[in-house]
Amino acid sequence: MQSHAPIGVFDSGSGGLTVARQLHKILPGENILYVGDMKRMPYGPREPQEIIKFMGQFLNFFTTKKVKLAIFACNTMTSWGYEKAIGNTVYPLVPMSTAVAEAAALSPHKTIGVIATEATVKKRFHADMAAKIDKDIRIYAVACPQFVTLIESGHINDLVLEKAAAYYMQNFTGKNIESLILGCTHYPIIKDILSKHIEVGIKLIDPAVSTIEKAVSVMQKNNMLNPAKTGGRMEFFFSSEPDHAAHMVKIVMGIDNPFINNIDLERFN
């Protein structure tokens, strides 16, 4: 596998850009191929079979692009699809991290809040991991179905979003959570608003950090790290709304006027 080949990063929409941003921050010499399915997002309310089918299309596309590694930048696809995808690709896969271990290390009473999509909460993605790590960890997982649609329709810093944030965050009142896992890759985009609506002192955890740590160790093990220390190329593919996609790339990754390629994921069955 060529070390200069791109790393595939994928999500239902623009949320996974928060993971691509972390990858670029840690390994600025790596070439990144980002794919977002703006046309069919949100995935959170979808049935598992559909989520798994869509995941397969991203992975088939990456095969045609000869990626050296693919990173799930989506908790929803990780929780329902990752285990099913293992062994079915010629390149290694890195799932989205639950970040439960990180959160537990920062939570002396092991009381952790999670916000995520409906599908991720339904799969008990974080709760099952917590049970594996330490049965004393308490997880309070809250599904926030409005957030992704709001973010993808431009409500990232306004009263509409404030209202939704206040509504969802009140679920944690009296639960004494010590940390809050942002269990959907869209949520770091609205981190500032979220922190306004939770008690001071609760630590917000972005699982992109441990996801990219894992990606680095997989690449080291497979001897596929790009020796370049800077100048990684970024390519963006979205299934619709190129102007909105470009705007989100600018907001999340700070790239001016990015070129947005169109992709019809349905062709990659």
Would you please indicate which residues are annotated as catalytic (active-site) residues? 74, 184
Our CB check for ligand DGL shows the closer of 42 and 56 to be 42
Q: Spell out, one character per residue from 64 to 103, where the chain touches ligand DGL: x when CB under 6 A holds, - when not.
A: ----------xxx---------------------------
Q: Are strands 203-205 and 138-143 parallel, antiparallel or unpaired?
A: unpaired
The answer to the question of residue 35 lying near ligand DGL (CB under 6 A) is no
| Interface with ligand DGL (CB under 6 A), residue from 5, 7, 8, 12 | 12
Q: How far is the CB of 32 from ligand DGL (least distance, A)?
A: 17
| Interface with ligand DGL (CB under 6 A), residue from 57, 107, 111, 120 | 120
Exposed e or buried b per residue across 76-105, where buried means at least 16 C-beta atoms within 10 angstroms of its C-beta: bbbbbbbeebeeebebbbbbbbbbbebbbe
| Interface with ligand DGL (CB under 6 A), residue from 6, 36, 42, 81 | 42
d(CA 245, CA 234): 14
Which of 77, 110, 114, 84 has its CA nearest to residue 99? 114
d(CA 259, CA 237): 9
| Interface with ligand DGL (CB under 6 A), residue from 8, 36, 44, 81 | 44
Chain mean position to CA 172: 22
Q: How far is the CB of 14 from ligand DGL (least distance, A)?
A: 8
Which of 104, 100, 48, 57 has its CA nearest to residue 79? 48
The answer to the question of residue 22 lying near ligand DGL (CB under 6 A) is no
The answer to the question of residue 36 lying near ligand DGL (CB under 6 A) is no
Piece in contact with ligand DGL (CB under 6 A), picked from 7-15, 136-144, 234-242, 243-251: 7-15
Which of 143, 99, 78, 97 has its CA nearest to residue 117? 143
CB neighbourhood size of 43 (10 A): 26
Piece in contact with ligand DGL (CB under 6 A), picked from 5-13, 63-71, 217-225, 253-261: 5-13
Cis peptide before 188 (omega within 30 of 0): no
Piece in contact with ligand DGL (CB under 6 A), picked from 27-35, 40-48, 80-88, 217-225: 40-48
| Interface with ligand DGL (CB under 6 A), residue from 27, 94, 104, 184 | 184
Residue with tokens 């599904």: 143
Q: Which two tokens stand for residue 164?
A: 């939704």
Q: How far is the CB of 184 from ligand DGL (least distance, A)?
A: 4
Piece in contact with ligand DGL (CB under 6 A), picked from 8-16, 49-57, 128-136, 219-227: 8-16
Strands (E), 98-192: 111-116, 138-143, 179-182
The answer to the question of residue 185 lying near ligand DGL (CB under 6 A) is yes
Chain mean position to CA 69: 16
Residues lying near ligand DGL in the complex (CB under 6 A): 11-13, 15, 41-44, 74-76, 117, 120, 148, 184-186
